[in-house]
Chains A and B, each alone.
Chain A
Amino acid sequence: MSAPEKHIEVRDLRLNYGPREVIHGISFDVYRNEIFGIIGPAQSGKTSLLRCLNRTIDFTPEARVQGTIRLDGRDVRQDANVYALRRKVGMVAPLPVGLPLSIYDNVAFAPRCAGMTRKSELDVIVEQCLRQAALWDEVKDRLNSLGTKLSGGQQQRLTIARALSHQPEILCLDEFSIAIDPVTTMRIEDVLRTLRQDMTIILVTNLTQQARRLADRTLFLWNGEVVELDRSEVIFSDRPGNRKTYDYVNGIFG
């Protein structure tokens, strides 16, 4: 990779929930169109980090964020239109959430919120996103049935389709595979490999093997601090830069 372009810059990010500090001033960059893995045990601040990125952390009243996160050089916390910011960042939560709307409305929800109303445009987006999420063939005949009645794996792909529906520049996946079976996981991983042509992907996972398979670079977050950030070949090699990384990746702790 020759002089990769910075897409996200995180500088001295510090996050408190009330008196408890969960992220202790971390800094790193994410390059454009890479798959960026974040690994680490539970409670190490991975989900909170993502919530800072799209500012849904604002909905937690006791949370206090310090430091900066820049997206294309613009500080997300200075961004006046937080809704447009959230549309730039697609977010897939650990547990699949099909909204209690029809499958069609689930995917058309975000474009509608953004202000798109023309049915013809929405139809195109719905089909395209469901195809991208590898769900189209299974649901194309019942777009009007409830999204909540799909199986877990289908709902997770629906969630991904919804996250793609607002054409994000960055797609964040937060442990997307914990509630679905290995076959579906593999299908989604294939989807991610094609999506990276169009967007930057942040993959939070505690399956180290998943990060090894997919990520170009991997960050090891532990207790709210960056232990190591390097190309995945290095992180998952026999000789990473930090002893702790080796221990975690090889299941000695964590």
Chain B
Amino acid sequence: MTPPDANVFSETPLVRRKRREEALAKWIFCAMSALMILPLVLIIGYLFERAWPSLSLGFLLEVPTRGMRAGGVWPAFVGTIYLVFLSLAVSAPIGILAAVYLNEYARDNWLNRLINLAVINLAGVPSIVHALFGLGAFVYAARFGYSIISASLTLAIMTLPVIIASTREALASVPRSFREACWNVGATRWQTIRSVVLPNAISGILTGVILQVSRAAGETAPIMFTGAVFFKAVQKGDLFPYSLHDQCMALSMHLYTLSTQVPDVQESIPFATAVVLLGSVLLVNAAAIALRVYLRSRKKW
């Protein structure tokens, strides 16, 4: 025990040890976080460095030539845009309405518990199983064949649960008191949703949808067997090279093909393809994050 005249605020060995431990803990966890982030930076840097010889605007706009050993990625880039927008055109409305149902209409009964369970499981289905489903359901059963439609629908079902989840979160962030105020003056559920809930959740919903753009763009397995092909002849810079029943090229598939199936490719070309894919995905993501930060700064209440 300290004698009564000792300054109680002076450091004891115990305090010093505690402080050392404190600092140690902080550094260990900080290092762990750094080790998690370092790869991201290193990988992006490395990819860029290797891709540099091929990177130019021309690479984006050129078509592949000499059996994909030279030229650019235009057909794949356009194909990815097709797939992404078609799939979101299907999944965004269904997903948003489903989330509206779950958050605004659903009561706590067995059916809705089942729906919740279904959404969770849909989110967990491996992408290759989605591919098998797309092949069985859209390519064969619905007779769409190997086509952009089949591939987009497969992607749509894959992105659906995440859109549902992010939309629900956005809807749930609108305070319940607003809804009650609307109900009190005789608004129906839908009038309440349309005039108060949706306008205030729209930023969150949009962010969720934009994030799905990047996810859909990066997926390979689901489109590999439903509509994406190794090669398709397309004019340079052509904006509408595909019809809905065509097969198409896609960036992700193109990267896979280049790096595993085509021998003797000039090394910088797959790297440049990877950079284009990664760059587009990260750009879209950054845009979504920026939108979220901006909208959060000007909340209405």
Contact = CB atoms under 8 A, between A and B. Distances in A.
B185 A146 contact: no
A84 B107 CA distance: 24
A165 B177 contact: no
A99 B196 contact: yes
User: Which of A99, A114, A146, A165 is packed against the most chain B CB atoms within 10 Å?
Assistant: A99
A95 B177 CA distance: 9
Contacts, number: 69
B184 interface: yes
A56 B176 CA distance: 13
B182 A109 contact: yes
A54 B301 CA distance: 27
Contacts of A67: none
Interface in A120-166: 146, 148, 159, 162-163, 165-166
Interface string B98-123: 00000000011000000000000000
Interface in A50-70: 54, 56, 59, 61
Contacts of A113: 182, 185-188, 191
B181 interface: yes
For chain A, what secondary structure do more than half of its interface residues adopt (helix, strand, loop), or is it mixed? helix
Given A101-B195, A113-B191, A93 B180 contact: yes
A101 B185 contact: no
Contacts of A166: 185-186
Contact of A99 (B108, B182, B186, B188): B182
A61 B106 CA distance: 10
Interface residues of B, number: 20
B181 A87 contact: no
A165 to B, nearest CB: 7
Interface of B: 107-108, 177-178, 180-188, 191, 195-196, 199-200, 300-301
Top 6 A-B pairs ranked by shortest CB distance?
Answer: A110-B185, A86-B186, A87-B186, A100-B300, A91-B184, A97-B181
Interface of A: 54, 56, 59, 61, 83-87, 90-91, 93, 95, 97-101, 109-110, 113-114, 146, 148, 159, 162-163, 165-166
Given A83-B188, A91-B185, 12 more contacts: A56-B184, A59-B180, A83-B186, A86-B186, A97-B178, A99-B178, A99-B196, A109-B182, A110-B186, A113-B185, A163-B185, A165-B185
